[in-house]
């Protein structure tokens, strides 16, 4: 497995793959890899001749009071995990390589699906995401790029921008990977104390309660949201950021689930902000 | 010469050129071609194996009170001129092909060099330009793209975004092409009545006065701008939009010309807005 830090070397490698007629699958990450990331690698591995994984903790998608400086980093462990999962190349640029000028003058903005849910409590976050993903896609030039369902709104934003900007790249999603007890895998789980780790289970459990209620015939948004809220409020130290049930295609408002929907939760456990979601498919 | 209207066919053609190892030079235009456009084609022709010219009057870069609906169009004449200049393919998409949803949710924003000069009197214009050029570059995937010095601020914006978004594309500029009497070529010259056509010469003449004054040793911005203003004010029907002398690299403010500078003018002759500029090189 190769490790490349410079954009120029990355481009040369891509060019060489293309000349050999090889397709590239790309998994952009912020590192501190877990099984969620590796499930994306696995999918990329199945669908492409070569797999590139990038590790870049992108300052532009963190708010001034967010956890950029303490975001967990472990290149050595990441390299072992990536190599084991079949990654051919890790692209690991420095901040100055990606942003010779910071903040950059150019940004990519996506309207309509970025203002609410995570966008509401993280102003500027999706502009940072859209801009870095555009940059990385232009550097790596893959045929396909892979994103986790756990950041469902992020997936929608990236699918939208790739489509709107006519990028010749397929944007793929893979399901949430969970710990055995149901907690959605996240690099930020490393922040949790053992007690908080236990409390964090409320997120998935609340989603499961919602799911069962839906399967039992309840399709109205208000009681479904209330069932989630009730479960989350059982954890005194948990602070709800949002509970939303929206159209899965465009995050549009619903009153009943008459189209495929995403049930999305964000909550603070102590100082750690966690998100989780559930897709309810309607044929 | 081929004429292609669909993005999918355009992509197939590009892919074929790449498989043949051919480089593509790209000249994006709004059509109604003149010698200015053809000079870009000539440069592209010299530097590439194949030349694509696009014709798309982009609604997103016109303000609500601007001339989108009346902007001149003549595909038949454009085709003859393009073929004669050595264009291999005209990409001529419909609005619905480029914008399945209008306005699009995604836009490309460039800060710092878009707020002043043309950006001041045309709010949103450069967002429209940056977005359409990003889309066209992603569709055509050229090695190089060619822009005229006449829209100098536009050239800077595109160079900046291509750089900031890590597009693997070289952004090239070619000098202003003028009529024999000095008027900068522009599709909008077609709006001018014979009297206005005569009055429009003031723009280039004012730039020439400025140039001579500079060559005679005057390097302070204020007297240089005043000399331009004096010449323009001799035309009663001319309304000055702006007269600016800025750093050529980043449109930064200057008090004396101690770095390479652009002298840029925008003025209305009747209802027609014209622009012109002059580069003053400093070693």
Residues B189-235: pLDDT tens digits?
A: 999 999 999 999 999 999 999 999 999 999 999 999 999 999 999 99
Given an 8 Å threshold on Cβ–Cβ distance, is B168 in contact with A11?
yes
> Are A192 and A170 within one domain?
no
- Is there a cis peptide before residue B125, judged by omega within 30 degrees of 0? no
Q: What is the pLDDT of residue A283?
A: 82
* Residue at which a domain ends, from B148, B174, B200: B174
CA distance A229 to A150: 20
Report which of A60, A65, A69, A30 is spatially closest to residue A128, judged by C-alpha positions: A60
Per-residue pLDDT of chain A (283 residues; tens, 9 = 90+): 999 999 999 999 999 999 899 999 999 999 999 999 999 999 999 999 999 999 999 999 999 999 999 999 999 999 999 999 999 999 999 999 999 999 999 999 999 999 999 999 999 999 999 999 999 999 999 999 999 999 999 999 999 999 999 999 999 999 999 999 999 999 999 999 999 999 999 999 999 999 999 999 999 999 999 999 999 999 999 999 999 999 999 999 999 999 999 999 999 999 999 999 999 999 8
Q: How many CB atoms lie within 10 A of CB B110?
A: 24
> What does A144-171 look like in DSSP terms, one character per residue?
EEEEEGGGHHHHHHHHHHHHHTT-S-EE
Q: Which residue of B has its CA nearest to A163?
A: B106
* Cβ separation A165–B11 shorter than 8 A: no
- For residues B64 and B145, membership in a common domain is answered with yes
For residue A104, the chain B residue with the least C-alpha distance is B164
Sign, CA torsion A275/A253/A153/A211: positive
Which of B174, B197, B222 finishes a domain?
A: B174
**A20-45: pLDDT as tens digits:** 999 999 999 999 999 999 999 999 99
pLDDT of B246 strictly over 90: yes
Q: How confident is the model at residue B94 (pLDDT cuts 50, 70, 90)?
A: very high
Same domain, residue pair B113 and B221: no
- Under 8 Å between Cβ of B94 and B128: no
B95–chain A Cβ distance below 8 A for any pair = no
B11 touches chain A (CB under 8 A): yes
Q: Residue B194 corresponds to which tokens in the numbers above?
A: 């014979």
Which of B10, B42, B44, B37 is CA-nearest to residue B135?
Answer: B10
Q: How far apart are CA B140 and CA B146, in angstroms?
A: 13
Question: Is the residue at A34 inside a domain?
Answer: yes
* B154 and B44 both lie in a single domain: yes
**Candidate from A111, A131, A166 with C-beta closest to B135:** A166
Interchain proximity B138–A166, CB inside 8 Å: yes
Residue at which a domain ends, from A141, A174, A207: A174
φ, ψ for residue A242, nearest 5 deg: -155, 155
Q: Is A106 inside a domain boundary?
A: yes
B23 vs B1: CA distance, rounded Å: 17
- Interchain proximity A111–B106, CB inside 8 Å: yes
Q: What would the pLDDT profile of A193-207 be if each residue is shown by its tens digit?
A: 999 999 999 999 999
pLDDT value of residue B62:
97
Same domain, B133 and B192: no
pLDDT tens-digit profile of B97-114? 999 999 999 999 999 999
Same domain, B147 and B196: no
* B166/A7 CB distance under 8 A: yes
Distance CA A267, CA A276 (A): 9
Identify whether B125 is a catalytic site residue: no
Query: B181 lies in a domain?
Result: no
**Beta strands B170-174 and B144-148, pairing class:** parallel
The catalytic position among A34, A37, A125, A211 is A37
**A contact test, residue of B100, B106, B141 with most A CBs within 10 A:** B106
| Residue A59 pLDDT | 97
pTM: 0.96
- Do the domain assignments include residue B182? no
Cβ contact (<8 Å) for B106 and A130? yes
Looking at the fold, whether A53 and A139 belong to one and the same domain comes out as yes
CB of A164 less than 8 A from some CB of B:
yes
Q: Do B105 and A105 touch (CB under 8 A)?
A: no
Residues B125-135, mean pLDDT to the nearest whole number: 98
Quick one: A237 and A160 in the same domain? Answer: no
Q: Is residue A152 part of a domain?
A: yes
* B165·A106 Cβ contact <8 A: yes
Burial of A39 (C-beta count, 10 Å sphere; 0-12/13-18/19+): buried
Note the pLDDT of residue B280. Answer: 97
B 107-126 residues with CB below 8 A of A?
107-113
Q: Which one of A56, A58, A134 would you mutate to disrupt binding with B, by most B Cβ within 10 Å of its Cβ?
A: A134
Hey, is the C-beta of B138 within 8 angstroms of any chain A C-beta?
yes
Nearest to B106 among A104, A105, A108 (CB): A108
Q: Which of A58, A99, A106, A134 to mutate to test binding with chain B, by most B CBs within 10 Å of its CB?
A: A106
* Range(s) of the domain holding residue A193: 187-277
The CATH number covering residue A270 comes to 3.30.1300.10
- Sort out which chain B residues have CB atoms less than 8 A from A138's CB and list them: 165-168
Q: Are A134 and B165 inside 8 Å of each other by CB?
A: yes
> Given strand A272-280, what is the order of strands in its sheet?
A238-247, A261-269, A272-280
The mean pLDDT value of chain B amounts to 97
Residues of A in contact with B106 (CB under 8 A): 108-111, 130, 160-161, 164-165
Nearest of A79, A74, A77, A98 to residue A90 by alpha carbon: A79
How confident is the model at residue B283, as a pLDDT? 82
Q: Domains in chain B: how many in total? A: 2
Q: Residue B69's pLDDT band (boundaries 50, 70, 90)?
A: very high
Residue B165 to residue A138, Cβ atoms within 8 A: yes
User: Measured in whole angstroms, how far is the alpha carbon of residue A34 from the centre of its chain?
Assistant: 13
Is A107's CB within 8 Å of B104's CB? no
Return the CA Rg of chain B.
Answer: 19
A112: left (phi over 0), alpha (psi -120 to 50) or beta: left
C-alpha–C-alpha distance, residues A98 and A33, integer Å: 21
The answer for residues whose C-beta is within 8 angstroms of residue A37's C-beta and 6 or more apart is A27, A29, A53, A81, A148
Q: Determine, yes or no, domain membership for A180.
A: no
Q: Are residues A207 and A76 in the same domain?
A: no
φ, ψ at B139 (rounded to 5°): -75, -50
Closest partner residue to B110 (CB to CB) among A7, A106, A130 is A106
The distance in angstroms from the start CA to the end CA of chain B is 42
Residue B115 maps to a domain = yes
Same domain membership, residue B134 and residue B30 = yes
Instruction: List the CATH number of the domain containing A46.
Output: 3.40.50.620
Q: In the beta sheet, which residues pair with residue B79?
A: none
Of B34, B37, B125, B211, the catalytic one is B37
- Pair B160, B136 in one domain: yes
Domain contains A282:
no
Hey, is the C-beta of A141 within 8 angstroms of any chain B C-beta? yes
Give the strands of the sheet with A89-91, arranged side by side. Answer: A2-4, A89-91, A50-55, A24-29, A144-148, A170-174
How far A167 CA sits from the closest chain B CA (Å)? 6
| Interchain CB distance below 8 Å, A138 and B107 | no
Give the residue-averaged pLDDT of B39-48.
98
Q: Select from A106, A110, A139 the Cβ nearest to the Cβ of B160.
A: A106
Q: How many inter-chain contacts (A to B, CB under 8 Å) are there?
A: 72
Both structure tokens of A36: 């969620």
Q: Is B228 found in the same domain as B145?
A: no
A223 φ, ψ to 5°? -65, -30
Which value does ipTM take for this structure? 0.95
């Amino acid at each position: 497995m190769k490790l490349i830090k410079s954009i120029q070397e990355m481009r040369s490698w891509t060019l060489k793959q293309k000349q050999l007629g090889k397709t590239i699958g790309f998994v952009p990450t912020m590192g501190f890899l877990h099984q969620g990331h590796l499930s994306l690698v696995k999918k990329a591995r199945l669908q492409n001749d070569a797999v590139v994984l990038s590790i870049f903790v992108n300052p532009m998608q963190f708010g001034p009071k967010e956890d950029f400086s303490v975001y967990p980093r472990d290149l050595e462990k990441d390299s072992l995990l990536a190599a084991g999962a079949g990654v051919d190349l890790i692209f690991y640029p420095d901040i100055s390589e990606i942003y010779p000028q910071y903040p950059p003058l150019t940004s990519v903005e996506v309207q309509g699906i970025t203002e609410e849910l995570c966008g509401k409590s993280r102003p500027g976050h999706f502009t940072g995401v859209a801009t870095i993903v555009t940059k990385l896609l232009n550097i790596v030039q893959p045929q396909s790029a892979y994103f986790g369902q756990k950041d469902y709104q992020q997936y929608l934003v990236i699918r939208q921008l790739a489509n709107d900007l006519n990028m010749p790249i397929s944007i793929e999603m893979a399901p949430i990977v969970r710990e055995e007890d149901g907690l959605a895998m996240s690099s930020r789980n490393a922040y949790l104390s053992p007690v908080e780790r236990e409390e964090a289970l409320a997120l998935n459990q609340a989603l499961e309660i919602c799911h069962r209620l839906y399967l039992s015939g309840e399709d109205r948004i208000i009681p479904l949201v209330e069932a989630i809220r009730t479960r989350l409020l059982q954890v005194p130290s948990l602070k709800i950021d949002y509970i939303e049930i929206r159209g899965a295609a465009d995050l549009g408002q619903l009153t009943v689930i008459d189209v495929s929907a995403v049930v999305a939760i964000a909550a603070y456990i102590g100082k750690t902000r966690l998100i989780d979601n559930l897709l309810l498919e309607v044929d």
